[in-house]
Amino acid sequence: MAFIGIDLGTTTSEVAVYRDGAPRVLSDVQGNTIVDSKVGIDPADRKLKVGNVVSDFVKHDPENGVSEIKRRMGDDVTIELGGENYSPAELSSMILTHLKESAEERLGEEVEQCVITVPANFPDPARRATRQAGEIAGMTVERIINEPTAAALAYGYDEDVDGEHVMVYDLGGGTFDVSIVEQVGPVLDVKASAGDPHLGGKDFDRALLDHVLDRLRREHGVEGIEEGTGAWHALLGKCEAAKKTLSACERATVDYTLTESVEIERSTFEDLIAPMVDKTEDAIDVALTEADLEKEDIDRVILVGGSTRIPYVQRLVERGMGQAPRSGVDPDKAVALGAAAQTAIIEGTSDQIIMDVSAQSFGTAIVDARTGQTGVYDEIIPANGKYQKEYTETYGTLYEDQKTIEFRVYQRESMADAERAEVGGEPNDGFTRLAKRVVDMPGPPGQELEATYTYTQDGTIDIRLYVPRTDEEVAFETRAEVDEEQIERSRAKVESAWKDSTYLDDVEPLMDAARRELESGDLSVEKQQEVETLMRRMKDALAAEDEAAVRQLEEELTDLLFELDL
Ligand SMILES: Nc1ncnc2c1ncn2[C@@H]1O[C@H](COP(=O)(O)OP(=O)(O)OP(=O)(O)O)[C@@H](O)[C@H]1O
Ligand SMILES: [Mg+2]
């Protein structure tokens, strides 16, 4: 039985294992150690695939694939792929399954447990969704840990950092974190963490693309490259490649066609990203202030994440911190290595102790009794509060006829500007609503409601509500909690997508014809539903390898399509 560590990234993912006293990264079944975080339906055989092979066929047909799923984790959305709607957790579970199966092949044993990393700035619902994704993939998720903390842990395997303050600057594809840790003997003490959950290399690609589109129009008269089309995606890919070239060279060319291309100077690219990258300096300041340290107190700065290869980023960090950053561990693999190191801690083969913090604060939206203003953020757990600590707060009713308290829990990003959690009843910028619950409050004004918040080791919070007057515990669930049954349903759905049914080849042309009928838009609502129902039942029969049912449905669907064609 193996226990693996996974860095589930916005653009790339890695899997590692702890063996013979050290963590090491494993390559996937396609032979890549850095695995593209993409899921797609291969048009050649209509099978679901994961990883670097997806990048190839998605280039020509963006409809066939999904990327950047991590940016949607915890959102209440579904994403369509191959005619089926999936939650972000379900799609992420496919990436995790791929990594799990790769590890099983490399290690020659089954993988049962895992640790998955998330950005330090990941909100509670996104963390819970990550845990669900691991469970849908059939693993026991022993812990969700913060990426910069994992990187610091991995760094400690190669270098002696005892007694030092280390700053981890992690700029990846989709998120930015900066953490300050202190290593004291076996204890890795996270002093503070800050950052932006929506900043990364993907944003630089988009900025460069906008610039290129503008230049193509002005210099070559190229118009009408619509967002989301194949041409647009292809150009975005070329912009990312040019961005990487610019990390090593002074200029790069983005070719649209053989004769229509745009040359980019490194300085032009730097001007484009400066407004975004410069903001990371504010996060460094916040982290230093929160840790109660001066920049001179930082003994070393380590860079993690692919976007730290950009010279402008390296210069900014060097200038801001007054020292050259080091890149001891591989910036692409540090996080996965740290996740594997964490597995050893949980198993007890390593004597390290990690004391982590939450980059975000937690609180409730209240009515200010003095000003009457609503939606005011009342912080309960400050940012950079330590994990596994309990905080209790008491609320009271205000008016004579108040029979309820509406209890709304929020999480606030470390760099959020706004002070109010809600505006017009909706979450304000930088705030994530975790829960909303109306609690009955019988009795005269001043009745109390006690709320106890606990940081879990996953960086999520558990909340317990209690009404002292009635001595009652109030059942309470945060937004992203799901039951075992839902995990089971998701697992069945995702597994059915994976299944290589023996009968699929027989009925595929029929299913394609049915799909075309649906897409034609000529069907009445009633007929449309008939086709959809048969298709769904067919998918279930295929997944169950139920030959009799497949044959029966094959007949019914053939008849129906024949009737529609008349
Ligand atoms: N040489 C390079 N120059 C500039 N950017 C690079 C270079 N190499 C990789 N990148 C960028 O780094 C990003 C990927 O980094 P990484 O794999 O660390 O991120 P991730 O783990 O997928 O994302 P996150 O940690 O934010 O979820 C991509 O945006 C990629 O374009
Ligand atoms: Mg990463």
For residue 204, pLDDT over 80 is answered with yes
Of 59-68, 122-131, 217-226, 539-548, the poorest mean pLDDT is in 539-548
Domain ranges of the chain: 1-159+330-352, 161-327, 361-474, 499-565
Residue 425 CA, ligand 2 centroid: distance in Å: 34
Same fold for the domain at 1-159+330-352 and the one at 161-327? Answer: yes
DSSP 147-172: HHHHHHHHHHHHS--TT-EEEEEEE-
Residue 12 CA, ligand 1 centroid: distance in Å: 8
At 306, the amino acid letter reads: G
Domain spanning 361-474, CATH architecture: Sandwich (2.60)
**Three-state secondary-structure class, residue 35:** strand
For residue 237, pLDDT over 60 is answered with yes
For residue 289, pLDDT over 90 is answered with yes
Q: Please tell me the distance from the alpha carbon of residue 290 to that of residue 280, in angstroms, as a whole number.
A: 15
For residue 362, pLDDT over 60 is answered with yes
Average pLDDT (57-62) is 77
Query: Which band of pLDDT confidence, cut at 50, 70 and 90, is reported for residue 70?
Result: very high
DSSP code of 348? T
From the CA of 175, give the closest atom in ligand 1.
26
Residue 38: per-residue pLDDT: 96
Residue 60: per-residue pLDDT: 73
DSSP code of 416? -
Q: Please tell me the distance from the alpha carbon of residue 277 to that of residue 283, in angstroms, as a whole number.
A: 11
Total residue length of the chain: 566
For residue 499, pLDDT over 60 is answered with no
Predicted confidence (pLDDT) per residue in 256-272, tens digit = 988 999 999 999 999 99
Which CATH fold topology does 161-327 show?
A: Nucleotidyltransferase; domain 5 (3.30.420)
Average pLDDT (304-323) is 96
Report the mean per-residue pLDDT for the chain.
90
Query: Which band of pLDDT confidence, cut at 50, 70 and 90, is reported for residue 500?
Result: low
Measured by CA distance, the residue closest to atom 18 of ligand 1 is 305
Proportion of the chain above pLDDT 90, given as a percent: 58
Contacts of 526 (CB under 8 A, 6+ apart): none
Q: Please tell me the distance from the alpha carbon of residue 542 to that of residue 521, in angstroms, as a whole number.
A: 26
Residue 519 CA, ligand 1 centroid: distance in Å: 37
Residue 287: per-residue pLDDT: 96
Predicted confidence (pLDDT) per residue in 389-424, tens digit = 788 888 888 777 788 888 889 999 988 888 899 998
CA angle centred on 209, ends 205 and 213, rounded to 5°: 180
The token duo for 240 is: 């990312």
Predicted confidence (pLDDT) per residue in 442-470, tens digit = 777 778 889 888 888 898 888 888 888 88
From the CA of 34, give the closest atom in ligand 1.
17
CA distances from 374 to 21, 419, 431, 445, 446 (A): 55, 12, 15, 19, 19
* For helices 484-498 and 124-136, angle between their N-to-C axes, nearest 10 degrees: 60
From the CA of 7, give the closest atom in ligand 1.
21
Q: 1-159+330-352 has which CATH code? A: 3.30.420.40
Predicted confidence (pLDDT) per residue in 77-108, tens digit = 999 888 788 999 999 999 999 999 999 999 99
